[in-house]
Chain A
């Protein structure tokens, strides 16, 4: 099976709607097919990977810790729109410091989160075989 480039586009805040969790589940399932997977967080989707989420007060499962497992699934390209962060008064420091261990580099920890401009993101998107939006 030839490898294709898949991008999952995340546009919704977590918890208020089911899109974020659904996307994450699809990403984990698709990871089994060993494709070249990347994630993009734009608009309110950037809230999905904001650090310090605590869901005790709303009685829902806190699935933010699952994003930290993505590295184990060889998903290590998470692109975040700089403009979307700026509009929301957020910066890279507000995001979870997600990393992956590079098997080819003696398991060195490397960052998985890349804050990019919309122009850069659009270039990355046009390079994909498949883009799925949630």
Chain B
């Protein structure tokens, strides 16, 4: 299953809630302010395990808009909108964690 998170982990616990509940076959795509959690910071540990399994993605346009595309943490996969579509094709309609 595909899960999108659009809130910063410094603002809301959406990402933590998502990580707590999803199963082993699920992947997470960070979008909008959610991409803040894709960079190296004190909240990075929330997704570091999942990222090391290749299950965390971040949307390129949202990283660039915030000037943080050079700060993406290890193992997080950066995708563009076409990549977003590919994820939907592979995993089905996303669940939005708002």
- Contact of A13 with B by CB under 8 A: yes
Chain B nearest Cβ from A13, distance in angstroms: 5
Contact A54 B33 (CB under 8 A): no
Q: How far is the CA of A47 from the CA of B37 in the complex (A)?
A: 13
Known: A15-B32, A16-B8. Contact between A54 and B67, CB under 8 A? yes
Contact A87 B64 (CB under 8 A): no
- Contact of B61 (CB < 8 Å), options: A14, A57, A64: A57
Known: A13-B36, A16-B33, A88-B41. Contact between A57 and B65, CB under 8 A? yes
Q: Mark B42-68, 1 if CB is under 8 A from A, else 0.
A: 111000000000000000111011111
Q: How far is the CA of A89 from the CA of B43 in the complex (A)?
A: 10
Known: A44-B33, A57-B60, A89-B41. Contact between A14 and B65, CB under 8 A? yes
Q: Mark A41-81, 1 if CB is under 8 A from B, else 0.
A: 00110010011111111101010100000000000000000
Contact A17 B41 (CB under 8 A): no
- Contact of A54 (CB < 8 Å), options: B7, B11, B42, B64: B64
Contact A57 B80 (CB under 8 A): yes
- Contact of B91 with A by CB under 8 A: no
Contacts of A60 in B (CB 8 A): 65
Q: Which residues of B are at the interface with A, using a C-beta cutoff of 8 A?
A: 6-8, 10-11, 32-33, 36, 39-44, 60-62, 64-68, 71, 80
